[in-house]
Amino acid sequence: MSEKFSFEKPEPRSEDREKAVLSIRERFKKAVSAAVLPMAFSGVLAAPEQVGFSKKNVEEMLHQDIKVSEYVKRADKAAKEGEMDGKERKELFQTVAKAKKVEEKIGAANLDRNFGIAGESEKIKEHFHDKTLNYPNISPERAKQMGINPRSINFILDALPHVWIESINEINFVDREEQIGKVRKDYGLKSDLNVVGQASYSSAGNETVLSFFKHPDGWQESSFALSFRHEIAHANDWKNRRRSMPERVDLLHRTLERVKSEDRYYSGYVESIRNEDKKKELLMKASEYWAEIVRANSASAILLGRQDRELVRDYLDKETAYNIPELERRQNQKSKPEGVREKEY
């Protein structure tokens, strides 16, 4: 009878050690193949041909500040060849499949330019788990000049998810009218269309300055509340790195599906956006569609179809400042974010 190999036996022969390592790797490879076999049959992704990355390797591959198109490639490789449990592997496969569909629809360049940087920042996550609610910097005097009661702004803020508020660094009130033709020509809208709000992202993609312009008919509290929810939705879409990558990909993927669906929410603003680059046009429409359905949901959820209601419900963080009375409220003293990268209206 041949002697069984054991790592506990002293000084095993090199050829026996090699056989044992190969056997362990082969068993792990078979286990991975079994876990992804249903997806392989469905044609989503092929079963892995090699297991070459430890859990630490996978974490290092995916939790870095890299372009989203590069993240998709790494995630695909990690899902096929990395060490992880079945639930993690399934989620990563699903994320890759959705990301590839998104890339097909809008192109890799638009994905990288408008999605923001991939990877998770622990500092960002810790910041939003803080029990202190930092209100955005607001000038009460400027708000009054625009006909907006500063107290009503705080009521609006307290009714919103507190982590959404944390994404806003500053709220500006600009006492002049602004036209879309001057600030966003790529939307293809009539140049004399008035812009009443604007969200400007920082280069980090995680702090935003909201600006509100003079309303042609004068601001009313109700109209300001709706416009505010539209702009804050921009600050909390797929570009916000507080969300995990699977969440960010899923939100963009589902919004792209909804904006082209027959039963979509009708917004004249979204429907009017035109660009010669149809992939860019689709992405711009998706960005505004997300903001519009959040706005409509705050007015009355019955305005939305079932899938739009579900989309907003899934990503509109539930806890408002009203739900967390122990939050310490203080005025935000952070400096204005540098390197403004992108603006939405």
The per-residue pLDDT string of the chain (345 residues; one tens digit each, 9 = 90 and over) reads: 444 333 344 444 555 555 554 554 554 444 444 444 444 434 344 444 445 678 888 888 888 788 888 888 888 888 888 888 888 888 889 999 999 999 999 999 988 887 777 765 555 555 555 555 667 888 888 888 888 888 888 888 877 887 788 778 888 888 888 776 655 677 877 666 777 888 887 655 467 889 888 888 888 888 888 899 999 999 889 888 778 888 889 999 999 999 999 999 999 989 989 989 999 999 999 999 999 999 999 888 788 999 999 999 888 866 565 555 554 554 444 444 444 445 564
Gap between the terminal Cα atoms of the chain: 78
Give dist(CA 284, CA 289) in Å, integer: 8
| One-letter amino acid of 92 | L
Residue with tokens 């079963």: 47
**pTM surpassing 0.85?**
no
Residue 77: Cβ-neighbour burial (10 angstroms; 0-12, 13-18, 19+) = middle
Pick left, alpha or beta for residue 229 (phi over 0 → left; psi -120 to 50 → alpha; otherwise beta). alpha
Q: How far is CA 146 from the centre of its chain?
A: 32
